[in-house]
Amino acid sequence: MNRRHFLYTPALLGAGTSYAASETAATIKTRIAKATAAALAMQRRDWEQGTLAQAFLEAGDHANVILLTKAAMVLKTPDGRLAVVGSGSATDPAMGGEAYLLAAKLTGDPAVQAAVQGMLDYLLKTAPRAPDGTLYHVFNNPQVWSDGFFSSPPFLAAAGQFDEALRQIDGFRKRLWNPQKKLLSHIWDDGKQAFNDPAFWSSGNGWAAAGIARVIRSLPAERKDDRVRLAAFVKDIVDGCLAYQRPDGLFHDKMDKPDSFVETNAAQMLAFAIYTGVRGGWLPREYAAKADRMRDAARAKVDQFGYVQGACGAPGFNRPGTSTEAQAFFLMMESASAKLAAGTGRGKK
């Protein structure tokens, strides 16, 4: 499927969904096209390159998956990480892993295959980790971040390393999960044995829900018990977030802190996870309506140039602004919604 075909396919433009009456097919088509162009125009670092590549994978845009993968190979480090600008982080490059794997398969190019295998080997053998095997997110401190749920576990699962993917999820959960709040804190430091950032960052919870949804999708049928366990975890995260959803459908940057700014991308991330779960049959059908509210709110934040405004903004991610990941999750949200609306693999009621 080429990029133009993706942008203009009716099923991917929201057919059968509950958009506002003012939303015509032409308006939807134009917004998706502009958001795609804006995403490709943005400067990107390792996780941004990978998240955008994943967005094109979700959209079936294989041409751009291959292009982003080959571009990521230009900035390959000796230890095997891809798309690294500067020193990079320990596991952020893995956010593109599933898309890069697809590019290796589609091209059959030995150089691409070797590059992707090199990054997988890095995760399995040399990336910094805790004594229990949990991967650290950065090099300079023994820290686990909620962002990590979207990096190594989906890549490992897509590569068939199911036990390792589950071990990472369990290690992250053990350190970050608050069962009373049903939310994840942002950063735990093993050295201090304390939270470096205890906040319930809305985007961090979005990273987690979306990442685990992808792992569930990769698990084979014989892993039924693991799928059920992970699905229950995603549902808990979603329910925890929904308790703090604003009337406009969005969330605050710090989920339980109404004095923090109103943020756009968490809604897109959670909507992607919900649509994926409903389509996969492991989230109840009624959750789709909750995702629709998030999607409608996020769509209203796309400006005339295609940029998703009000997201946790680059480069500091401490203020409202724009980011490559917000562009990517807009596209992922739209793709997941359209696939569900098309009736393919529709979830159980």
How far is the C-alpha of 126 from the C-alpha of 91, rounded, in Å? 11
Is 301 inside a domain boundary?
yes
Helix 162-176 with 224-242: angle, nearest 10 deg: 30
Is 126 inside a domain boundary?
yes
Q: Which of 18-32, 162-176, 208-222, 265-279 has the lowest mean pLDDT?
A: 18-32
pLDDT of residue 22: 53
The pTM assigned to this predicted structure is 0.91
- pLDDT (tens digit, 9 = 90+) per residue, 130-183? 999 999 999 999 999 999 999 999 999 999 999 999 999 999 999 999 999 999
Query: Per the structure, how many domains does the chain have?
Result: 1
Is 346 inside a domain boundary?
no
Q: Decide if pLDDT at 298 tops 70.
A: yes
82 CB contacts (<8 Å, ≥6 apart)? 46, 49, 50, 72, 73, 75, 76, 93, 96, 100, 115, 116, 119
Is 347 inside a domain boundary?
no
Is 180 inside a domain boundary?
yes
317 CB contacts (<8 Å, ≥6 apart)? 203, 323
How far is the C-alpha of 108 from the C-alpha of 130, rounded, in Å? 35
Write out the residue range of the structural domain in which residue 241 sits: 3-341
- CATH number of 57's domain: 1.50.10.10
Is 10 inside a domain boundary?
yes
Is 348 inside a domain boundary?
no
pLDDT of residue 13: 42
Helix/strand/coil for 119: helix
Q: Give the largest CA-CA distance in the chain.
A: 55
- pLDDT (tens digit, 9 = 90+) per residue, 314-343? 999 999 999 999 999 999 999 999 999 997
Is 85 inside a domain boundary?
yes
pLDDT of residue 1: 32
Position 99, amino acid: A
